[in-house]
Structure formats: structure tokens, C-alpha cells
DNA sequence: TCGATTTCGTTAACGTGTTAAATATATGAG
DNA sequence: CTCATATATTTAACACGTTAACGAAATCGA
């Protein structure tokens, strides 16, 4: 009969946020974390972070890319990208040079050492992703990607 | 006829990761970011971070909670939580005391000042979320939440 | 009871996220 | 051409994410 009184009882429900368990931000966080849990140990064995992997992977796909384009494709904010580029360059995985036509721009290119990392990591990455796809369902992944894209583009 | 040669041409496709555009980790990141873009400015006006908001919101919902339980519910790693708790306590939004029955545990409770923040932020948060729900579609949000939950629990 | 083990929380160290401001270069109006 | 403005990148400052290691308290088995 006498239940525990929580602070929630002090206000009426309208003043409280909806339940945490069904909140989009946290659900997205959990899902992302669950996915990354599959990749992170493998990337750690190759001594690169998730973000560093995104950057060199994009350079391997797209060739020479300037920093803004990279920030866009890898979805990394400019200040983070500056640090990541510095670190990747110091480790010899990428090269960096000023754009001759526009002195503000920084052009990035993958270095041979970076290609070696790509060659090492890609097969493992693929395998993990395909296992995930299989277990979740190939078509469901597609549906989910579409729904996420739509959510991401609600603002535009 | 002579197209630009990219580093991708140096290896055959099997060695390259699949296209960045349809990758679950980045799609989840983008979607989450798009959602948070709606909330962050509002939270900033109230001078709290997203994580601080999650913590006091959970305390308002659940009453007294120990740190492990909080880490679980708010999906925040222990080291981050330690810092967040320290900051929230210094600002007088929560109180913290050792569990009498188990000296290792730290019990958290929301303070009156914290309840004031809840009262201020909740209506705005709700409004933003409901707008989002409406624009994306109420049922589609539910479907998405289910799909995300399932993805998150693939490991178990 | 005691020593080994486990659990909870913290600290440390490093990388990234976020916002604002600074710097350098490019562009456009007059 | 020149000054104002815009754009690309960097720096700074602070918060959080991530892993490993640590200290303290609880638990369990001998």
C-alpha cells in the first residue's frame, strides 16, 4: 500500500520527460555502441581508432580529398579532424599538402603505409560487417539505413 | 577514356571496405547527431550538457539510484560518470552519499536545485521531441526504436 | 577467520566532441 | 586596387569516451 515516494511524485507527469527507455537519442547511442563493440577490438589490434579508420578508408576510396570534404564524408568536426590528420601524418599513414590553387585548403592523400593498413584491416572489417548483416538480416539493414537517412535529413 | 586513377585502383575491390555512405556506424552517428542538433541549443541555454541532463532526468524518474545503476540507465561509462557526478554535485543539482549497507556504493539523489532544472527543461524537451515525432511519424519512431533495440541486443 | 577473488568506484592518460575565437587566404563591391 | 566580407583551417578550452590500472569494500572458499 505505501509505495516508495520518488521525486517524480513531486511534480505532475507533464513536467517530466518521457521515459528514458524509449528515447531516440539513447536508442541511437546504444545501437551504435553495440555495433562498434564488434569493430573496436579489431581496430585496436591494428592500433587505429574508429575515426582514424574512417579517414584513411575514405582516402582509399576517394583519392585526394581536402579537409572540408573529409569532414563531410567522415562526419568529423573540423577541430577533431585537425588533430586526427596531425596524428595520421606523424604516423606516416597519410600525406598532407597545401592546395596550390587555394592556399587555405589542405589536401590529403593516403600514403603507402596507410594502404598497408587498409589491406590489413579491410578484410576483417568486411567479415565483421557481413556477420552482423547476416545476423540482423540483410534487408532489415537496408530498411534501417533508409530510416536513419530519413531521420538525419529531417532538418533540410 | 583516361579517367583519374585513385588509390582504390591499386587493390582489387575485395580488399576495400564497403562504401562509407551505407555503413551502419556512420548512419547511426549521423542520425543521432541530427536528433541532438534539435536538443543541444536548448540544453546549452540552460547550461547543462546532454549527459548531465540524462543523469538528473533519471534521478527525477527513479529517485535514489546508485552509480552503477545510473551508468546502466544513462548509458554512460563509469569514468565519465564520476566526472559528471562531481560536476553536478558542485553545482548543487544532485546530492551524493555512501550506501550504509555497502560501503563501495555511492547513492545519488536529485537536489531541489536539480528539480528546478527538470521543471525548466522538461517542457521544452518534450516539445522538441514531440515535434520530431510528428514530423518523422509517430509509428515510424516506434518501429525505429524497435529495430534499434534489436540491433543493440544482437550480442546477448 | 583468513586469504583469494570479485565488485564498485575512482584516477590516469589519451583521443574525440563541441563551441568560440583566431588566423590566413580568397572573393566581391566600389 | 582596396577594403570589407566570406571561407578554410587551426587553436583553445572544456566535457565526454575509452581502456587500463588502482584502492577500498564485500564475498566466498578453505
Residue A80 contacts strand D, CB under 7 A: no
Residue A109's alpha-carbon distances to A14, A125, B87, B128, in angstroms, are: 54, 21, 42, 41
Q: How many helices (H) and strands (E) does chain A have?
A: 6, 3
Q: What is the mean pLDDT of residues A69-81?
A: 97
In a domain, B14, yes or no: no
Distance CA A148, CA B4 (A): 33
Contact partners, residue A140, CB within 8 Å, separation at least 6: B147
Per-residue pLDDT tens over the stretch B42-88: 999 999 999 999 999 999 999 999 999 999 999 999 999 999 999 99
Q: Kindly state whether residue A122 falls inside one of the protein's structural domains.
A: yes
pLDDT at A12: 43
Predicted local distance difference test score (pLDDT) of residue A4: 43
In a domain, A43, yes or no: yes
Number of folded domains that form chain B: 1
Tell how strand A65-66 and strand B106-110 pair up.
unpaired
Give the number of other Cβ atoms within 10 Å of residue B123's Cβ.
13
Which residue range(s) make up the domain with A109?
Answer: 22-152
| Residue from B10, B16, B73, B130 whose CB has the most chain A CBs within 10 Å, to mutate | B16
pLDDT of residue A65: 96
Three state DSSP letters for B62-94: HCCEEHHHHHHHHCCCHHHHHHHHHHHHHCCCE
**pLDDT category, A17, cuts 50, 70, 90?**
low
Q: CA A69 → CA A74, A83, A133, B4, distances in Å?
A: 8, 16, 28, 18
Show residues of chain A in contact with B140, CB under 8 Å: 147
B5 confidence band (pLDDT: 50, 70, 90): very low
Cα distances (Å, whole numbers) of residue A55 to A5, A156, B5, B63 = 51, 25, 19, 43
CB-based burial of residue A17 (10 Å sphere; 0-12 exposed, 13-18 middle, 19+ buried)? Answer: buried
Beta partners for residue A106, in sequence order: A98
- pTM equals 0.87
d(CA B14, CA B21): 17
pLDDT of residue B155: 72
- The vertex-A44 CA angle with A43 and A46, nearest 5°, equals 65
Q: Is the pLDDT of residue B141 over 60?
A: yes
- Which nucleotide is the nearest neighbour of B68, by CA and C1'? C8
**Closest nucleotide to the alpha carbon of B82, via C1':** C10
Q: Tell me: pLDDT of B8 over 80.
A: no
A127 touching chain B per CB within 8 A: no
Minimum distance, in Å, between the CA of residue B104 and any CA atom of chain A: 23
- The CATH number of the domain where A48 resides is what? 1.10.10.10
Nearest CA to B7 among A71, A48, A95, A100?
A95
d(CA A38, CA A128): 7
Helix (H) or strand (E) holding A94: strand A94-98
Q: CB B151: neighbour CB atoms within 10 A?
A: 23
B40 touches strand C (CB under 7 A): yes
Instruction: Give backbone dihedrals phi and psi of A96, rounded to 5 degrees, phi first.
Output: -140, 135
**Residues A26-56: pLDDT tens digits?**
999 999 999 999 999 999 999 999 999 999 9
**What percent of chain B clears pLDDT 90, i.e. is strictly above it?**
83
How far apart CA B145 and CA A31 sit, in angstroms, is: 10
Residue B145 lies inside a defined structural domain of this protein: yes
pLDDT at B156 over 50: yes
Q: CA B95, CA B90: separation in Å to the nearest integer?
A: 9
A19 contact B CB<8A: yes
pLDDT band, very low/low/confident/very high, at A19 (cuts 50, 70, 90): low
Asked if the structure places residue A15 within a domain, the reply is no
Confirm or reject contact between B72 and chain A (CB < 8 A). no
* Residue A5 domain flag: no
Residue A11 lies in a domain: no
Nearest-CA distance A132 → chain B (Å): 8
CA B43 – CA B117 distance, rounded (Å): 10
Report the pLDDT value the prediction gives residue B17, as an integer from 0 to 100: 54
In sign, the C-alpha dihedral spanning B49, B51, B52, B54 is positive
CA of A58 to C1' of D5 (A): 33
Mean residue pLDDT across chain B: 89
Is position B17 within any domain?
Answer: no
Contact assessment for residue A66 and residue A99, using Cβ atoms and an 8 Å cutoff: yes
Amino acid at each position: 500500500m505505501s509505495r516508495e515516494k520518488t521525486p517524480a511524485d513531486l511534480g505532475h507527469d507533464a513536467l517530466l520527460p518521457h521515459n528514458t527507455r524509449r528515447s531516440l537519442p539513447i536508442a541511437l547511442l546504444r545501437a551504435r555502441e553495440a555495433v562498434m563493440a564488434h569493430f573496436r577490438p579489431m581496430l585496436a589490434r591494428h592500433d587505429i581508432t574508429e575515426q582514424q579508420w574512417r579517414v584513411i578508408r575514405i582516402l582509399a576510396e576517394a583519392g585526394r580529398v581536402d579537409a572540408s570534404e573529409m569532414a563531410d564524408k567522415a562526419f568529423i568536426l573540423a577541430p577533431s579532424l585537425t588533430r586526427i590528420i596531425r596524428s595520421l601524418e606523424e604516423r606516416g599513414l597519410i600525406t598532407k599538402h597545401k592546395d596550390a590553387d587555394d592556399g587555405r585548403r589542405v589536401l590529403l592523400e593516403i600514403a603507402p603505409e596507410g594502404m598497408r593498413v587498409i589491406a590489413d584491416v579491410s578484410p576483417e572489417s568486411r567479415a565483421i560487417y557481413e556477420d552482423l548483416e547476416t545476423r540482423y538480416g540483410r534487408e532489415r539493414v537496408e530498411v534501417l539505413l533508409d530510416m536513419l537517412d530519413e531521420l538525419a535529413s529531417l532538418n533540410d
